[in-house]
Amino acid sequence: MRSLLATLAVILMVAAAGFALYAGSIDGYVGHIVFFGFFETVVLFSWSFCDKKIRAEKRRKKATRTFEVFKKEIAELRTELVSIQYDSSDPLRLLVRFFNLISYWHDKDLTELMTTIREANTDKQYDDVFNHLTALQIRFRNAGRDEYGMNRTKKGEVVTTNKVFLGNIYGLFTLPISDWDKCKHERKGLWKGGNWDGHPDVENRNAYDVVSMQAQRFMRSHVSPMVNLIESLQQATL
């Protein structure tokens, strides 16, 4: 900003000197009117140019500060997601943990950050950052809270096994995890030859195993893409 003000000062001094010389070489009322008209135009143009640059620089600095805060916060999510990615424990417990992580970001929403960056993106130099944020925002919404989806919680609510619904596959009803927990020790292949006939990937499983597989597939479809987007954003600078 100081450099822009210094540039403006130099432009005005040069213009003033030039017009002073010009004014000294002309006579009459009309000549002086023309001189001051030209001088005023140069002053206004110079100020407008520098003012635009100053405003753009302020927007860039604001976007940079906001983005750096975001990167520190999102780093924690990446760590948790990578942990889930390589965790071989109970998929249903992992799904609840995953939904709690994503629900926070779904509630937080990235719209304000995206707006700040868009306002600073005067020369489209931040297009990649904006596009990655948009893609991540869509991921958060698709894997976030949904009244009729898997994660049936409301904004600000902690996700529990009573609020995560699975099923509606291979003839299974849609039930909360707390109900599927009761099926954990059922006999394997209970429905072999029935609704699961022709699906060798589930024929030797019980209902708990099937919804566990459903949970794994859901997380797999979101975790890796989210991690990739976050890593791209962490490497970006404004």
Contact 81, 223 (CB under 8 A): yes
Contact 23, 15 (CB under 8 A): no
What is the identity of the amino acid at 157?
A: E
Does the residue 91 lie in any domain?
Answer: yes
Does the residue 45 lie in any domain?
Answer: no
Does the residue 35 lie in any domain?
Answer: no
Containing structural domain, residue 93: 60-235
Number of domains in the chain: 1
Q: Which residue is listed with tokens 């909360």?
A: 176
Does the residue 227 lie in any domain?
Answer: yes
Q: What does the block give as tokens for 66?
A: 């906001």
pLDDT tens by residue, the chain, 238 residues = 555 455 555 555 555 555 555 555 555 555 555 556 565 666 566 656 666 777 778 888 999 999 999 999 999 999 999 999 999 999 999 999 999 999 999 999 999 999 999 999 988 999 999 999 999 999 999 999 999 999 999 999 999 999 999 999 888 899 999 999 999 988 887 654 445 555 666 667 888 999 999 999 999 999 999 999 999 999 998 8
Does the residue 22 lie in any domain?
Answer: no
pTM for the complete prediction? 0.76
Does the residue 205 lie in any domain?
Answer: yes
Does the residue 23 lie in any domain?
Answer: no
Please give, one letter per residue, the 3-state secondary structure of 22-83: HHHCCCCHHHHHHHHHHHHHHHHHHHHHHHHHHHHHHHHHHHHHHHHHHHHHHHHHHHHHHH
Does the residue 19 lie in any domain?
Answer: no
